[in-house]
Structure 1
Amino acid sequence: MAADARVPADGAVPADRVVTADSIGGVLVDVTARAVAGRAADDLGEPTVVSRARGFAAAAEDEALARGAARVALSVEDCKRIDTDAVAARIVGQYPDQPYPAVVLGSPHGAAAHLATTLGVPWLPAGFELTVRWPDGAVDDPEAAQRHGAACASALLGANPDVSVRQVHDPVVRGPAAGTTISLFVRWRRLPPAYRRLLGRIRPGGFALTVADSRTWPVFGLGGGHSFQLGGPTSGLAAAEYVRPGPDLVQALRRADGDPHAWLPPAVPPLRGLGEHAPEPGFEADLRDWPAEVRRHRIAVARPGALSAAVAQTVRAWLVESGKTGDRLAVGCGRLLDPGQVLRCGLVPYWCEAPLREEVAEAEIWVAGSPPFRSIDVLIEPPGRPSAVVAPLRQWDAVAWFSSQRAAVDRVGTRSYPYGTLPTRHASVVLAELRDDLPLPAPLTPGTALERLRRYGEPVGLVVD
């Protein structure tokens, strides 16, 4: 395998083409690497055709977006030429080559990116998402999607035996693109060589903090190299709504010219497993076996809001102890976050995984139970679809209304809500308008962060080993 993503193995797909543009894991690497290097994320590009096709556009645009998503996706033949070690090397290569007091690894979570930024250390994902073309695909045929995904996974696994492939077929989240492309989550079974080299740069007595998404979901083919999910925890729907189509799935299928009556899950019963973002057991086992001079801890996340609340409280305490006010809050959502700008402004960060009623309600409860914030800025990533599970704008407004002086909900994100798509750099543009709170404090120490994550996380169900 190639050791450097900039010099791919003969015939290998360049590493920067492999990871799905605007996938949450890719975005978190982009923003955290810039923050650790002391830069804003205002250079990140516009949303790609893949991201625009994830949700729903105007009806006349749906078919064109789905075709466009297929054009920029990888082919089955490309899967044979993917070098997952090169992808890991490209991720590591975005961070400064220097010693670190810690590394944060694991499942993609915006609060983990904020935590890593506050510590001044890299965040490394336990896997990555890629998108593959599905010629003659059908959004309403999950069995056909599984067969095509198995062929793609076989091609990829043949060249990369140290990974697993989790396929997610979700017309609700991906919209019409679910009928022209398939989405594969590639997860390392072992620490890739580039990660090992970076972990070797942790100072003696430093920390490796693993964030592990512990949400479960029915999985077909659990235990093999290729496994398959219908929907997932990030949709906001119950798993049963993907078996007997609920209103959201029916609407998604109809918008993509699919037939809800043709929808048939795979015949083999699924097993209850961990969702697509959970690290592989072997990946975590490699970390546990790391030399004793690196202290290893695991943060199990059963609800995204639990980690968001614990990190927000941890950062707030650090700001106050550093002589800052700690009374200005920034609520990010999905891909709309810029940890470097949040740090520059001396803001407390809270992250919602998606603009869902349940997620925003958790944010409301946390803000209501916290000491008052003088200002609250809210950034909303539109979900691309209307739904009973999507938070209405008045619920987002309610989060901001808890401020004692200034309540600001970004109106660019609300103009066409719940439709529309915004680039990650929009968060940088909005946050750049806020006043600086310089100089920056000395980075939070990993030991203090761990102690406070335990203290603040236990009451909300966060498990820190």
Structure 2
Amino acid sequence: MERFLEQRLAPGATIFILDTTLTWPVSVLGERQRFQFGALGGMNPREYIGGSERLAQHLAEQGSRVRRWEAPATDDTSPEAEWGYDDALSRDIEAVAARCGYTVRRITLEEPEHLSPLVADFYRWRYQRHGLPTDQLLVETYNQWEPYWALRLGVVPFWLQFTARPSYQWLERYLQQTAPYRRIDVNLFSNGLRSVGQVTAEEWRGIAHRHATGSGGTIGVNEAAFPEDVGSTLRYQPALAALPQRYPLPPPASVDELDEFLADTRNVAPADGVRIATLQTAAGHSERQDPA
């Protein structure tokens, strides 16, 4: 990692650490060996380990003989295996930054999608500056994110972890707080099976239709087949490409623009506990905190 940073970054570059503080109970198997039962999604760790009424109902509906899983005993807590950040990396990042004269900025948040309201408002802010529309929202889920098409179509992206209830509620909260969008499209990742806490395609279509002042619904997904619509993984890009509008790509965003946006919208953009801090390194960079 250090060699990559030294060889690939421009002089005076800024390194962003995305510090997702999410943790999960684990079983310690040995030195640097952890086993995590379950993961971030529609259920919390307590349900994975101790069970719940809705888990029992779900297992019954799927024809299972059991009503809860026999989870292994846990004896520690670690960064969540897929989304968490291990702070052991920070020391090496700060060392190479000090050696090469880079700036290190740390974005701290509890879950990955908690950054999405701020990112969406940053896109909206930049679009307005470049004369692009600011009234179209593209909700993207899990790994079906398409930054190129968001920019090419002039739509504001809103990234969600999954198609589960917590993500649905996070989107609802954002749409209740922000200025209305004329059009809202929701692209759904199909995980191939029905799971606890999963939100139906009808509900996703409904939230888009309810909050859009013009049109709203799903895009690139067969609602009747969801969440077993595995073809949606191949269908969502052509669905975006089929939309008629095209705009020139705006220039890449700069760190100075980010700082200007944070200063302009400090009391406007939904903060949701996101913190952006400039870290002090041996090279003498001053420490600064920007609550986003």
Normalized against structure 2, the TM-score is what?
0.80
User: Is the CA contact (8 Å cut-off) linking 1:352 and 1:359 kept in structure 2?
Assistant: yes
Q: What residue number does 1:404 align with?
A: 213
Secondary structure of the equivalent of 2:217? strand
Q: Specify which of 203, 207, 211 is matched with residue 14 of structure 2.
A: 207
Q: What residue number does 1:227 align with?
A: 34
Distance 2:233 2:220 in 1: 15
Distance 1:432 1:228 in 2: 41
The 3 A distance-change label for structure 1 pair 349 and 223 is farther
Distance 1:296 1:355 in 2: 33
Q: What residue number does 1:442 align with?
A: 251
Q: What residue number does 2:271 align with?
A: 459
Q: Does 2:163 match 1:355?
A: yes
Matches within 5 A, 1:21-32: none
- Which segments of 5 or more consecutive residues in structure 1 lack a partner in the other structure? 1-190
Q: What residue number does 2:280 align with?
A: none
The 3 A distance-change label for structure 1 pair 253 and 265 is farther
Question: What amino acid maps onto 2:77 in structure 1?
Answer: R
User: Is the CA contact (8 Å cut-off) linking 2:189 and 2:232 kept in structure 1?
Assistant: no
Distance 1:458 1:404 in 2: 21
User: Is the CA contact (8 Å cut-off) linking 1:356 and 1:389 kept in structure 2?
Assistant: yes
Distance 1:403 1:254 in 2: 34
Alignment deviations for residues 280-311 of structure 1 (CA, whole Å, 9 cap, x no partner):
33322211112342111111221333211111
Q: What residue number does 1:429 align with?
A: 238
The 3 A distance-change label for structure 1 pair 230 and 311 is same
Q: Does 2:42 match 1:236?
A: yes
Q: What residue number does 1:305 align with?
A: 113
Question: What amino acid maps onto 1:278 in structure 2?
Answer: G
Deviation at 1:416, TM superposition (A): 1.4
Q: What residue number does 1:32 align with?
A: none
User: Is the CA contact (8 Å cut-off) linking 1:338 and 1:427 kept in structure 2?
Assistant: no
Deviation at 1:350, TM superposition (A): 0.2
Matches within 5 A, 1:373-388: 373-387=181-195
Secondary structure of the equivalent of 1:203? coil
Q: What residue number does 1:344 align with?
A: 152
Alignment deviations for residues 165-193 of structure 1 (CA, whole Å, 9 cap, x no partner):
xxxxxxxxxxxxxxxxxxxxxxxxxx2x6
Q: What residue number does 1:266 align with?
A: 72
Q: Does 2:3 match 1:216?
A: no
Deviation at 1:317, TM superposition (A): 0.4
Deviation at 1:254, TM superposition (A): 9.2
Distance 1:249 1:203 in 2: 54
The 3 A distance-change label for structure 1 pair 323 and 458 is closer
Q: Does 2:127 match 1:319?
A: yes
User: Is the CA contact (8 Å cut-off) linking 2:134 and 2:155 kept in structure 1?
Assistant: yes
Q: Specify which of 179, 203, 221 is matched with residue 395 of structure 1.
A: 203
User: Is the CA contact (8 Å cut-off) linking 1:372 and 1:404 kept in structure 2?
Assistant: yes
The 3 A distance-change label for structure 1 pair 375 and 287 is same
Secondary structure of the equivalent of 2:12? strand
Matches within 5 A, 1:40-79: none
Q: Specify which of 60, 82, 92 is matched with residue 286 of structure 1.
A: 92
User: Is the CA contact (8 Å cut-off) linking 2:189 and 2:233 kept in structure 1?
Assistant: no
Question: What amino acid maps onto 1:270 in structure 2?
Answer: D
User: Is the CA contact (8 Å cut-off) linking 1:355 and 1:383 kept in structure 2?
Assistant: no
The 3 A distance-change label for structure 1 pair 363 and 223 is farther
User: Is the CA contact (8 Å cut-off) linking 1:381 and 1:422 kept in structure 2?
Assistant: no
Deviation at 1:436, TM superposition (A): 3.6
Secondary structure of the equivalent of 2:223? coil
Deviation at 1:399, TM superposition (A): 2.8
Deviation at 1:256, TM superposition (A): 9.2
Q: Does 2:178 match 1:370?
A: yes
Q: Give the superposed CA RMSD.
A: 2.8
**Which protein is richer in helix relative to its size?**
1
Alignment deviations for residues 64-96 of structure 1 (CA, whole Å, 9 cap, x no partner):
xxxxxxxxxxxxxxxxxxxxxxxxxxxxxxxxx
Normalized against structure 1, the TM-score is what?
0.52
Question: What amino acid maps onto 1:283 in structure 2?
Answer: L
The 3 A distance-change label for structure 1 pair 326 and 416 is same
Deviation at 1:411, TM superposition (A): 6.4
Paired-residue identity, %: 25
Distance 1:243 1:433 in 2: 45
**What is the number of residues matched between the two proteins?**
269
User: Is the CA contact (8 Å cut-off) linking 1:385 and 1:419 kept in structure 2?
Assistant: yes
Distance 2:271 2:204 in 1: 24
Distance 1:367 1:207 in 2: 31
Q: What residue number does 1:329 align with?
A: 137
Deviation at 1:342, TM superposition (A): 1.1
- Which segments of 5 or more consecutive residues in structure 2 lack a partner in the other structure? 278-292
Question: What amino acid maps onto 1:459 in structure 2?
Answer: A
Larger CA deviation: 396-405 vs 408-417 = 408-417
Question: What amino acid maps onto 1:242 in structure 2?
Answer: Y
Alignment deviations for residues 206-225 of structure 1 (CA, whole Å, 9 cap, x no partner):
21112122112111118831
Q: What residue number does 1:12 align with?
A: none
The 3 A distance-change label for structure 1 pair 450 and 383 is farther
